Amino acid sequence: MVEKNSVAAGDRAYEDVKSRILEGELAGGELISEGEVADRLNISRTPVREAFLRLQAEGLMKLYPKRGAMITPIARSEARDVVDARNMLETHAVRSVVASEERTERLVAALRENIQLQKDRIADRNLAGYALADADFHSALISASENALIIQFYATLYDRQVRMARSSVPTDVVAEDVVGAHQALLDAIAARDADRFEQLLAEHLKKIHEVLIR
């Protein structure tokens, strides 16, 4: 029973700290201690230490003995690599989708719902929730490709994408601009114009990258 409780506590610590990192509450370069998390969740330090090891393995923090852990900043090289990978994968996915009228219609319907969700969260000033909706918009493009290997690989980028979206959308004004870019991408898909989509996506991701490396 103790072992199960320890595992459950470790999962709680992992999810708590990870969500705070992805939502921007814990910024890159910030130090956090095992004791702080243990007190916050009313658990012992052992499961927190296990959670920290998992987060370090995922590249979200770096452990320093007797000092705690530092949240890993988004490196310029990481931002560039993620943007490049997304550009290639999302463009390929949309090209495969727009070849089919039925699949295009399904994707367009899903993206319209997502854009409305983005607008609602901006109106509520829920920028953390907006960042999740932003990431889900792009994930929907990949899911629509129905290519299991691409979907699996793209999933490995999801956490980084959420964190980058949160970091690159510091105000509701900027978020509204991004929603406008998403609407333009949606319009290109609805027109089944893959070349136009590729051009707009490259411009959209370039702007995100420029914000991240400032």
Residues 170-191 have pLDDT tens digits of: 565 678 888 999 999 999 999 9
Q: Which pLDDT belongs to residue 56?
A: 94
Place of tokens 């550009």: 87
For the stretch 113-154, pLDDT in tens is 999 999 999 999 888 888 889 889 999 999 999 999 999 999
pLDDT level of residue 2 (50, 70, 90 thresholds)? very low
Q: Which two tokens stand for residue 47?
A: 């499961």
Q: Which pLDDT belongs to residue 37?
A: 96
Long-range pairs for 35-43: beta carbons < 8 A, 24 or more residues apart: 36/68, 37/13, 38/13, 40/16, 41/9, 41/12, 41/13, 41/16, 43/9, 43/12, 43/13
**125 contacts 102 by C-beta, under 8 angstroms:** no
Q: pTM of the full predicted structure?
A: 0.73
> Higher pLDDT residue, 200 or 158?
200
What is the mean predicted confidence (pLDDT) over 2-25?
Answer: 82
> How many CB atoms sit inside 10 A of residue 122's CB?
22
Q: Which pLDDT belongs to residue 74?
A: 81
Strand order in 68-71's β-sheet? 31-32, 68-71, 61-64
For residue 104, the one-letter residue type is: T
- Winning range, highest mean pLDDT, from 76-90, 100-114, 124-138, 151-165: 100-114
Q: Which pLDDT belongs to residue 131?
A: 83
